[in-house]
């Protein structure tokens, strides 16, 4: 199956102007100023005039089996559905377990990731949960990362949160060692993905770990760092040291910083945006009966461009290229270039609303309508 995108304004996320893009099966085959449709058989031609073409988003923090559980069994959030992911413009994700590792487990998380992969979404997972020692599939973090294809790191391990297991420095060192060893053996990122709560310590334990060990700083990524202003200031120090930080979509600027306000502040402070990523915390608990929406990531990005007037390339990088490089899946993911996976969003040029979603060379959304749904979605709806 071939798809030819004609005359779209293309961002890789760098702007490369108006281009034609030929997709062959699941890959981007060719990008040129003009590609003739002559001699192209069985080709779906999409007119992208007055449209913007960007890479599909990569969301590295999604509760694919459902988050929550802090208010008893009734507060357990259901598994995410395919259409929620597609409508959010996400083409690659990393599933996390989160707080509840008693009624949910890594086997369940892996099974859901495999199901989403079968339905078309590139899916990875972190082994582990809030606590240390953490939940695993095979009995330890090293073998999970090195032997299980979809496991690329450990997380979301909780710090500075009353729901954490309150790990000490030695426990965090041992976990980091396992993640790094697993990454080396399995030729993977070996990430330690860290949930940071509103606790008084903030990133202090992480700073101590970096100062008192030889672990590379770029194997750690604290997330939710915009949840309060003190934590955000700490994260800027971590960023200046060469670390990565992950901004959560949907946060308020009353206590912390919204994603658009956080990106704006980083630019004004001349910070290195190449080490900044953004994620949705999708399908996690948002307090009470609230559920974090995956679509909030795209909505916040759009606000960065429309409301804050931040250039498209800078905004796109935090949820495409930067994430792909951190997860060590670039340039297969996170960019539009010859040979990359055909994960593409087509946006309306004026509103920046998502018009078309292409994942692995297949059309999942067309003219703003979902045309591919999950196996049981029609029964649920």
Strands 362-366 and 354-359: antiparallel
Distance between CA atoms of residues 12 and 126, nearest Å: 27
DSSP conformational letter for 100:
-
Cα-based distances in Å from 85 to 88, 235, 251 = 5, 28, 20
- List, for residues 134-172, the tens digit of each pLDDT value: 999 999 999 999 999 999 999 999 999 999 999 999 999
H helices of the chain, in order, are 82-87, 106-119, 141-147, 169-186, 204-211, 229-240, 259-268, 295-306, 312-317, 321-327, 377-380
Q: Are 183 and 219 in contact (CB under 8 A)?
A: yes
| 198 is an annotated ligand-binding site residue | no
| 303 is an annotated ligand-binding site residue | no
The confidence score (pLDDT) of residue 381 equals 46
Distance between CA atoms of residues 84 and 34, nearest Å: 34
The confidence score (pLDDT) of residue 328 equals 98
- Out of 20, 281, 299, 343, the active site residue is 281
Q: 47 burial class (0-12, 13-18, 19+ CB within 10 angstroms)?
A: exposed
In the three-class reduction of DSSP (H, G, I as helix; E, B as strand; rest coil), residue 203 is classed as: coil
pTM (2 decimals)? Answer: 0.96
Distance between CA atoms of residues 235 and 132, nearest Å: 22
Q: What DSSP string describes 151-194? A: EEEEEEEEESSTTS----HHHHHHHHHHHHHHHHHHTS--EEEE
Residues counted in the chain: 381
Per the annotation, the verdict on 281 as an active-site residue is yes
Could you tell me the maximum CA-CA distance found in the chain, to the nearest angstrom?
A: 65
Cα-based distances in Å from 80 to 66, 194, 319, 367 = 7, 22, 20, 23
| 195 is an annotated ligand-binding site residue | yes
Per-residue pLDDT of the chain (381 residues), as tens digits, is 799 999 999 999 999 999 999 999 999 999 999 999 888 888 999 999 999 999 999 999 999 999 988 888 888 999 999 999 999 999 999 999 988 899 999 999 999 999 999 999 999 999 999 999 999 999 999 999 999 999 999 999 999 999 999 999 999 999 999 999 999 999 999 999 999 999 999 999 999 999 999 999 999 999 999 999 999 999 999 999 999 999 999 999 999 999 999 999 999 999 999 999 999 999 998 876 689 999 999 999 999 999 999 999 999 999 999 999 999 999 999 999 999 999 999 999 999 999 999 999 999 999 999 999 999 886 554
- Around Cβ 87, how many Cβ atoms within 10 Å? 20
First-to-final CA distance of the chain:
30
| 193 is an annotated ligand-binding site residue | no
Domains of the chain plus CATH, in order, are 2-54+335-370 (2.30.40.10), 56-327 (3.20.20.140)
| 61 is an annotated ligand-binding site residue | yes
Q: Which residue has the tokens 């030729």?
A: 187
């Amino acid at each position: 199956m071939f798809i030819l995108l004609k005359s779209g304004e293309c961002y890789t996320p760098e702007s490369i102007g108006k281009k034609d893009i030929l997709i062959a099966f699941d890959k981007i085959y060719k990008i040129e100023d003009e590609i003739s449709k002559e001699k192209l058989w069985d080709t779906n031609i999409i007119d992208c005039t007055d449209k913007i073409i960007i890479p599909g988003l990569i969301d590295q923090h999604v509760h694919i089996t459902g988050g929550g559980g802090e208010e008893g069994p009734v507060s357990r959030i259901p598994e995410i559905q395919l259409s929620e992911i597609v409508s959010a413009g996400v083409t690659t994700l990393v599933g996390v377990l989160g707080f509840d590792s008693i009624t949910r487990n890594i086997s369940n998380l892996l099974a859901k990731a495999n199901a989403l992969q079968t339905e078309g979404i590139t899916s990875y997972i972190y082994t582990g949960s809030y606590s240390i020692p953490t939940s695993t599939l095979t009995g330890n973090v090293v073998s999970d990362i090195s032997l299980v294809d979809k496991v690329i790191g450990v997380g979301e391990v909780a710090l500075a949160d009353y729901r954490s297991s309150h790990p000490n420095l030695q426990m965090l060192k041992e976990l980091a060692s396992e993640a790094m060893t697993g990454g080396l053996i399995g030729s993977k990122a070996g990430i330690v993905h860290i949930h940071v709560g509103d606790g008084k310590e903030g990133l202090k334990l992480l700073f101590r770990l970096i100062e008192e060990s030889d672990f590379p700083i770029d194997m750690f990524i604290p997330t939710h760092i915009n949840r309060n202003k003190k934590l955000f200031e700490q994260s800027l120090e971590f960023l200046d040291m060469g670390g990565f930080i992950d901004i959560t979509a949907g946060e308020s600027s009353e206590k912390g910083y919204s994603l658009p306000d956080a990106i704006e502040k980083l630019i004004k402070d001349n910070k290195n945006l190449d080490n900044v990523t953004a994620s949705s915390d999708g399908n996690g608990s948002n307090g009470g009966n609230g559920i974090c929406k995956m679509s909030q990531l795209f909505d916040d990005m759009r606000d960065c461009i429309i409301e804050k007037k931040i250039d498209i390339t800078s905004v796109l990088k935090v949820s495409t290229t930067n994430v792909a490089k951190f997860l060590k899946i670039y340039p297969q993911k996170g960019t539009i270039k010859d040979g990359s996976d055909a994960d593409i969003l087509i946006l309306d040029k004026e509103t920046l609303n998502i018009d078309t979603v292409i994942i692995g060379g297949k059309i999942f959304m067309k003219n703003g309508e979902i045309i591919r749904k999950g196996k049981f979605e029609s029964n649920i709806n």
